[in-house]
Structure 1
Amino acid sequence: MTSSENRNRPGMALLIRLGAVAALATMSALIKVAGEHHINLIEILFWRQFVALPIILGWLLSTAGVSALATKRPWSHARRAGFGLLGMVLNFGGVMLLPLAEATTMSFTAPIWAVILSTLVLKESVGIYRWAAVILGFTGVLVIAQPGGGHIPLFGACVALGGAFMVAVVSIQIADLNKTERPLTIVFWFAAFSTAITVVALPFVITRHTPFEWLLLMGMAVSGTIGQILLTSALRFGKVASVIVMDYSSLFWATLYGWLIWHTLPSASTWIGAPLIIVAGIVIAWREHYLGRIGKRKRLADPGT
């Protein structure tokens, strides 16, 4: 099988992406349980990133080799780690503060924030389709949050939305790093820098844990790392635009875990608002894919541009 054929296996890409989503949803459920056991968020962040390091190294040893970790952009990785760590604080905090399905739904607003950032930061021209998707998505947020009278705490909703915003910010940084770095190199240095940052605060927050709590922490770290590796691997077989829709399957896992662990189901407002946010994300992904194809055709037609 040729390299190009290996990279064009959409069915394989979708299956791997589904596996990644399931692993990350499992991580979120374990984080929520860990929070209920009063494990400090900083300690959760430390173990999430520290345990990832040997797993990523083992993966690299069996694939590209440790030489793949070489980088000429350490400060770019450090800056990405700082923003990424803030994003993890907000995203993990949202999971702890909100019902799992609602926290997951709020994370779906990341593409909406990306459209806004592309306008404000990158000065890109955004047309009516994507602006309509932005309005539709935030309508879904209002339906779910119901400011002033909703079933979920407004502060928790704001934290979760902040986490989605940081995902959009970090995506811009990763897009820049991807120009020169391998995906697993980016993941490794994020884990390394964020481990170094959180270890400074660890002595002030670490506590004794039961065997069950250690299982929670290790399970959270391993499932999160596996999810990251699978996310990276999916892009070897398919394009982002073709696999990103699978990310919305995380709502299924969040609903399932919510029912199995907490015996709760999403409220009626979530069932109404979530489809609005999901449709908005799909429209944005479709539009990005469409515009990318148009741009590629123009470059092929006029290589001098």
Structure 2
Amino acid sequence: MQPLKGIVLKLVAVTCFITMTSLIKATAGHVPPGQSVFFRSFFALPVILGWLAVRGDLRTGWRTQRPMAHVWRGLIGTTAMGCGFAGLAFLPLPEVTALQYATPILVVVFAGMFLNEKVGVFRLSAVGLGMVGVLIVLEPRVTTLGADTVAVTEAVGAMIVIFGATCAALAQVHIRNMVREEQTSAIVFWFTITSTLLSLLTLPFGWAWPSGAEAGMLILAGVLGGFGQIFLTSCYRFADASVVAPFDYASMIFALAIGYFIFAEVPTPQMLLGAGIVILAGVIIILRERHLGLKRGKARAAKSIES
């Protein structure tokens, strides 16, 4: 294990993803979310194929024994991506980022529901704390609902982002089940394919003809998304998930900076408070997972000695 290298790769992945999201936001006023999903997926494909070629997995890395599992992962994941992109047209970048932090918290709940993972009082308490943070972020959107058209639009945008975060959590739980039999490279490859194809279903609902600048930003978003996925996958080769997971929250620092300097978005104290609580809950869950993982490792080691 090389934890420092893993952390650096995770930070590079986070940087790729938040830059990708910023590019999507810059075009969100004109380009529909389904079209953004297409660019994000289609132009990530050459990067993914190049990665497989470098690894020597171009002939075998995409093979699967469970094609329908990839279809369901594609449906759920593409919905999550589309909802996240749709929310960028209505809400500030830091707020969208904060609401999407609900995903790792919901993963704990869904893992208990669908994978029969044991979820104790400690982690349930952290989940509850995280939900309080989400509600604090949401509260201004809910209480001003109906005040005017802008308020209604922002409230709808917030609900779309939360729905997307829920779908993302379901997708992650589904992936946990898939990795028992499927290669990581196959999961990445087929998601890119399915999200590209599924995004084309939104074509009849009206795609916009992007300007040269918009097309360039959308293509770059796809390329960055592909590289981000590779760096994210690679970081787990050098460090445990519990070591690199907290660095997901560096995206809030980047989102605040980009939102302020690029989009002139000034975060409210309430949004920052809610985001801080969600991040705290996420870190608590990560630390608990690490503690339980260490206990399981010691138990296995003791059992092997006894036997």
Q: TM-score, normalised by structure 2?
A: 0.91
Of the three residues 104, 113, 138, the one matched with 1:145 is 138
What is the CA-CA distance between 1:203 and the residue it aligns to? 5.6
1:186-265 mapped onto 2 (5 Å cutoff):
186-202=187-203, 205-265=206-266
Q: Is the 8 A contact 1:184 1:229 kept in 2?
A: no
Name the aligned partner's letter for residue 253 of structure 2: F
Q: Is the 8 A contact 1:31 1:96 kept in 2?
A: no
> Residues 61-82 of structure 1: CA distance to partner in whole angstroms, max 9, x if unpaired?
1113312112222111111111
Matched residue SS, 1:263? coil
> Residues 94-136 of structure 1: CA distance to partner in whole angstroms, max 9, x if unpaired?
2222110010011111121112212322333322221221121
Whole-Å separation in 1 of the counterparts to 2:162 and 2:89: 13
Q: Is the 8 A contact 1:141 1:273 kept in 2?
A: yes
What does residue 52 of structure 1 align with? 44
Q: Unaligned stretches of 5+ in structure 2?
A: none
What does residue 5 of structure 2 align with? 12
Q: Is the 8 A contact 2:83 2:161 kept in 1?
A: yes
Whole-Å separation in 2 of the counterparts to 1:145 and 1:201: 28
- The CA RMSD measured in Å over matched residues stands at 2.0
Name the aligned partner's letter for residue 209 of structure 1: P
What does residue 39 of structure 1 align with? 31
- How many residues get paired? 297
Name the aligned partner's letter for residue 187 of structure 1: V
What does residue 64 of structure 1 align with? 56
Matched residue SS, 2:275? helix
What is the CA-CA distance between 1:181 and the residue it aligns to? 2.5
Q: Is the 8 A contact 2:32 2:86 kept in 1?
A: no
What is the CA-CA distance between 1:209 and the residue it aligns to? 2.3
What does residue 91 of structure 2 align with? 98
What does residue 22 of structure 1 align with? 15
Whole-Å separation in 1 of the counterparts to 2:119 and 2:198: 37
Q: Is the 8 A contact 1:129 1:283 kept in 2?
A: no
Name the aligned partner's letter for residue 97 of structure 2: T
Of the three residues 66, 76, 79, the one matched with 1:73 is 66
Deviates more, 1:288-297 or 1:52-61: 288-297
Deviates more, 1:173-182 or 1:224-233: 173-182
Whole-Å separation in 1 of the counterparts to 2:267 and 2:65: 46
Report percent identity of matched pairs: 33
What is the CA-CA distance between 1:204 and the residue it aligns to? 5.1
Matched residue SS, 2:239? coil
Name the aligned partner's letter for residue 245 of structure 2: I
